[in-house]
Amino acid sequence: MGEIQTVGVIGAGTMGSGIAHVFARSGFNVLLCDVEQRFLDRALASIRTNLGREAVKGKLAGGDVDASLARITAVIFGALRDQVGDLPRP
């Protein structure tokens, strides 16, 4: 089995957006999934704000904010299968 490069996060609420934030900041590609676009939009705005705060405090380089956000792909739950394809079942 290869090294993990992409993670999926189901739910873009407070916990899901926080998980997506940490994984994206750590260099992973993230599929952030929720049932409505408005939830995804709110999560991405929150992640952008939080990354910006980290940059202001010097915990993150300014360029890393955009790079981290670029690693997050927001998908509506019904479209998730198109993003990941058929997954093997145990």
Provide the pLDDT confidence category of residue 79 given band limits of 50, 70 and 90. Answer: low
Edge-to-edge, what's the strand order for the sheet holding 29-34? Answer: 6-10, 29-34, 72-76
- pLDDT at position 81 is 62
What is the pTM for the complete model shown? 0.83
- pLDDT at position 70 is 97
What is the per-residue pLDDT across 35-55, written as a single tens digit (0 to 9) for each? 899 999 999 999 999 999 999
* Residue 32 CB neighbours (<10 A): 26
- pLDDT at position 78 is 72
User: Residues of the chain with pLDDT > 70: what percent?
Assistant: 86
